[in-house]
Chain A
Amino acid sequence: MSVLPALDVGLALLVVGVAAWTIAARNLFASVVGYVAYGLLLALVWVRLYAPDVALTEAAVGGGVTGVLLVTAGKRLDALASAEVGVPPGRALKILAGALAALVAGALAWVVLTLPSPAPSLAPAAAEAAAGPGAGLGNPITAVLISYRSFDTMLEKVVLILAVLGVWSVGADAAWGAAPAPLRKVRPDGAMILLAQFLAPVGLLIGVHIFWVGADAPGGAFQGGALLAAMGMVAMMARLAEPPRIDSRKLRLALVAGPAVFLIVGVAGLALADNLFAYPQNFAKPLILFIEAFMVLSIAVALPMLVCGPPNGSPK
């Protein structure tokens, strides 16, 4: 199979080319579109790096949700046609910046190419731990995320909540409590509605599937949640669903459910397994699935709320 290396090189060139286009494009919207394409291509690179979990995440978030976020932002900015932008730096500064960026990139490339061999790895340790603390999980990444480095994962969900609150906080005082503006201003037409009606249920199913198999196969809470979030956004774009009011108790509970359950189970670990964020040997897998279920919920709600933006309109 000598095609594969050639394909790899082609893919690499394509990714770099699209990235360069994203930076060089004259027009804001063109560069946003370039970035969305870039996100999808990058997912392929991740597949080639034997990272299906990351590929899933990158496709869903890098290409999908971020794409919607940026396209929406680009459109809303265009609507404010008068938005004045600062002046670009002069030619000398550009050349200097380019040279320095190239130097840093060169240094990085050199270091990456001369990484030590044999490479240090925690894979053996993870394999060993899979019998213990990671009990019953066939997907080592899920084990890392929910068990070995659970503290990171929980805090990252808190970051997500802070980001949601941060996004809400830039809204107007008078609008507090209201729902964010819908993703599309105009009522969509048949095609969009049809797409949403077909795609959303299927996507929902796939999202839950990805979460469910995540314990043993590529997939997991984040990937599943991101897919669900994307489906929710498709529905919103078709105006089949509207963003909820931000003071809705259900919304708030859904957002905190993931980290809160994680935290409670983690603290309970002190009683059940003698250690904070440890799981009792026999219940590890069900407990992990339990936590992940709530994480899926929180992620699936948080991502669309981040895209929707601050509350808009009147609170009553």
Chain B
Amino acid sequence: MTASPGGALLVFAVLTPVAGILLSFALGGRAAERITLALAPIGLALAGFIAFLVARSGAPLVYVIGGLPPPLGIALRADGASATMMVAAALIVPAAAFYARAKFATPDGVAESRGALTFWIMLQAIWAALNLIFLGADLFNLYVALELLTFAAVPLVCIDGRPETLAAALRYLLFALFGSISYLLGVALLYGGYGTLDIVLLGERIAATPLVWTAAALMTAGLLAKTALFPLHIWLPPAHANAPAAASAVLSGLVVKGSFFLTLRLWFYVLPALPMAAPAAILGTLGGCAALFGSILALRQPRLKLLVAYSTVAQIGYLFLVFPLASAPAGGALGWSGGFVQVLAHAFAKAAMFLSAGVLAEALGHDRIAHFSGAARALPLTFLTLGLGGLSLMGLPPSGGFEAKWLMLRACAASGQWIWAVPILGGGLLAGGYVYRILAPALADGVVEVKARPQLSRELVALGLVGVALALAFAPEGFFEFIQIGRPLAGGGAS
């Protein structure tokens, strides 16, 4: 394995936010906010340039840290999938940061405040961790990245210090630890079996032995716990519904995608030699149940943020349909593309919806859906965003959600796996139900009392994010070729 030209950029994509964390922590106070905002263009430029390099060479971009190649050293590797995710993170994190400026400004008269310092540093940490997760090519390095992500996400959940949020954060932390230790155990076994943790080397060496199956089962289950796939969604609804809006947007839009991304890496890159039909069926079943169950519960939530959080539970379910679909011999490429478009569409749409929910809660002083009558006339932009986000969740055109469903259904058809069409279509119908629950009263003739006029800039940030989710519907053919760069051929074939 040798480094590609421009590969050092990969390390800088991780190091830049890390340096931001260290500087912010040392300087404290208002510096943290300024540093985070200053990082935004740098991070976006790095992600964009990396994507450009990957697209230009048509092959993964690799960097060997310290010049010592794996197995002894650590490498970073950017393929089409990771570059896409990095760009998504580089758009959503700055959007959340920009949105959060008003709420997490250090108050006048103090040098530093608890909420502000925590928020800004943890936001950078999430960014650093995500970039590392997308780029990492060493399973232990990825473990450190996962922990970095958890440690950054947990304090964001309880940043306002109410007991409910503390309980939610504690539950999140403990369950995430449960998941990471399970993952780590699998890593230990794989090292014991193959003497390396480099993804590429493992992918070449691994054969279907009991050791590998055990490791795969443990690592997968651990990652599922961190992704909150049904029935492991124990922590997600209270955590995502109680965090401040900007944090929820990042948690729901990006953080759960981090561990999902690793699950994909695990099965499609580390374990391509394993016959995947049975485990893929298990993952697909859990995903399908999640899509239906989460949507049904979203239908019953009295509060907008809880509804949106349960919708995340459902949408995570869709992601896992990528396992049976992309590993099938026929239509695998369609399934893979569909899965990725779903990841992106949900990331942008959900981030936008959480930001809008935040705007709404501040403007109305509550987020009880039963009291929304007429709210759309008071907050037209916010409800436009919620509606368009809902469009994507329902999978109606023109939206990324539709594109994802369309690709996934075609993959179902191509591979003859009809059963997965049930959650895809049924979940869409149920999503229609919960989006209707938000929009129908809001568009009715009632009158709501607006306590504080929302800032236009914050509403526009959310609208911009949802715009990206819609724009995915118009993704050119080249985009799908791009996310296939560096994807190993479907799992299960080799053995």
Contact flag (A, B; Cβ within 8 A): yes
Q: Given the complex, which residues of A lie within 8 Å of B19, measured CB to CB?
A: 263
Whether the Cβ atoms of B141 and A152 lie closer than 8 Å is yes
Identify which of A152, A162, A273 contacts B74 (C-beta below 8 A).
Answer: A152
Q: Given the complex, which residues of A lie within 8 Å of B152, measured CB to CB?
A: 162
A266 to B8, CA, bound (A): 12
Whether the Cβ atoms of A152 and B140 lie closer than 8 Å is yes
Q: Given the complex, which residues of B lie within 8 Å of A166, measured CB to CB?
A: 118, 122, 151, 154-155
A173 to B118, CA, bound (A): 11
Beyond A148-B72, A253-B26, whether A121 also contacts B195 by CB under 8 A is yes
Is residue A56 within 8 Å, beta carbon to beta carbon, of the partner chain? no
**Interface pick from B108-116, B264-272, B397-405, B446-454:** B108-116
Whether the Cβ atoms of A149 and B15 lie closer than 8 Å is no
Is residue B185 within 8 Å, beta carbon to beta carbon, of the partner chain? yes
Is residue B210 within 8 Å, beta carbon to beta carbon, of the partner chain? yes
Chain B 270-313 interface residues, beta-carbon cutoff 8 Å to A? none
Q: Given the complex, which residues of B lie within 8 Å of A247, measured CB to CB?
A: 28, 111-112
CB-nearest residue of chain A to B159? A169
CB-nearest residue of chain B to A123? B195
Whether the Cβ atoms of A155 and B214 lie closer than 8 Å is no
Whether the Cβ atoms of A273 and B144 lie closer than 8 Å is no
A107 to B71, CA, bound (A): 27
Is residue B22 within 8 Å, beta carbon to beta carbon, of the partner chain? yes
Whether the Cβ atoms of A256 and B26 lie closer than 8 Å is yes
**Chain B count of residues within 8 A CB distance of the other chain:** 58
Identify which of A112, A132, A151, A168 contacts B141 (C-beta below 8 A).
Answer: A151
Is residue A289 within 8 Å, beta carbon to beta carbon, of the partner chain? no
Whether the Cβ atoms of B74 and A276 lie closer than 8 Å is no
Q: Using C-beta atoms within 8 Å of the partner chain, give the interface range for chain A.
A: 35 or more
Is residue A269 within 8 Å, beta carbon to beta carbon, of the partner chain? yes
Whether the Cβ atoms of A171 and B22 lie closer than 8 Å is no
Beyond A173-B113, A256-B26, A260-B22, whether A158 also contacts B67 by CB under 8 A is no
Chain B 1-27 interface residues, beta-carbon cutoff 8 Å to A? 8, 11, 15, 18-19, 21-22, 25-26
**Interface pick from B186-194, B356-364, B437-445, B474-482:** B186-194
CB-nearest residue of chain A to B192? A115
Whether the Cβ atoms of B18 and A158 lie closer than 8 Å is yes
Q: Given the complex, which residues of A lie within 8 Å of B114, measured CB to CB?
A: 168-169, 171-173, 176
Digit string of A63-104 for contact with B (CB within 8 Å is 1, else 0)? 000000000000000000000000000000000000000000
Q: What's the minimum C-beta distance from A213 to chain B, rounded to whole angstroms?
A: 24
Q: Given the complex, which residues of A lie within 8 Å of B154, measured CB to CB?
A: 166
Whether the Cβ atoms of B118 and A276 lie closer than 8 Å is no
Is residue A259 within 8 Å, beta carbon to beta carbon, of the partner chain? yes
Q: Is the interface of B mostly helix, strand, loop or mixed?
A: helix
Is residue A125 within 8 Å, beta carbon to beta carbon, of the partner chain? yes
Whether the Cβ atoms of B71 and A125 lie closer than 8 Å is yes
Q: What's the minimum C-beta distance from A172 to chain B, rounded to whole angstroms?
A: 7
Whether the Cβ atoms of A278 and B22 lie closer than 8 Å is no
Q: Given the complex, which residues of B lie within 8 Å of A119, measured CB to CB?
A: 192, 195
Whether the Cβ atoms of B148 and A256 lie closer than 8 Å is no
CB-nearest residue of chain B to A128? B72
Whether the Cβ atoms of A173 and B122 lie closer than 8 Å is no
Is residue B394 within 8 Å, beta carbon to beta carbon, of the partner chain? no
Chain A 108-146 interface residues, beta-carbon cutoff 8 Å to B? 108, 110-112, 114-116, 119-122, 125-126, 129, 132-133
Beyond A161-B25, A177-B112, whether A148 also contacts B193 by CB under 8 A is no
Q: What's the minimum C-beta distance from B356 to chain A, rounded to whole angstroms?
A: 26
Q: Given the complex, which residues of A lie within 8 Å of B128, measured CB to CB?
A: 158
Whether the Cβ atoms of B214 and A107 lie closer than 8 Å is yes
Is residue A147 within 8 Å, beta carbon to beta carbon, of the partner chain? yes
A-B contact pairs, 13 of them (CB 8 A): A108-B214, A111-B215, A115-B193, A119-B195, A121-B195, A158-B148, A162-B148, A165-B118, A166-B122, A170-B155, A176-B112, A252-B25, A275-B65
B residues touching A (Cβ–Cβ < 8 Å)?
A: 8, 11, 15, 18-19, 21-22, 25-26, 28, 63-68, 71-74, 110-115, 117-118, 121-122, 125, 128, 132, 140-141, 144-145, 147-148, 151-152, 154-155, 158-159, 161, 166, 185, 189, 192-196, 210-211, 214-215
Instruction: List 12 extra interface pairs beyond A111-B189, A158-B148, CB under 8 A.
Output: A129-B68, A133-B66, A148-B66, A148-B74, A150-B65, A151-B141, A152-B140, A166-B118, A169-B114, A173-B161, A247-B111, A278-B68
Which 10 pairs between the two chains have the least Cβ-Cβ distance?
A: A120-B195, A275-B67, A169-B118, A176-B114, A277-B66, A166-B155, A162-B151, A256-B22, A169-B155, A278-B67
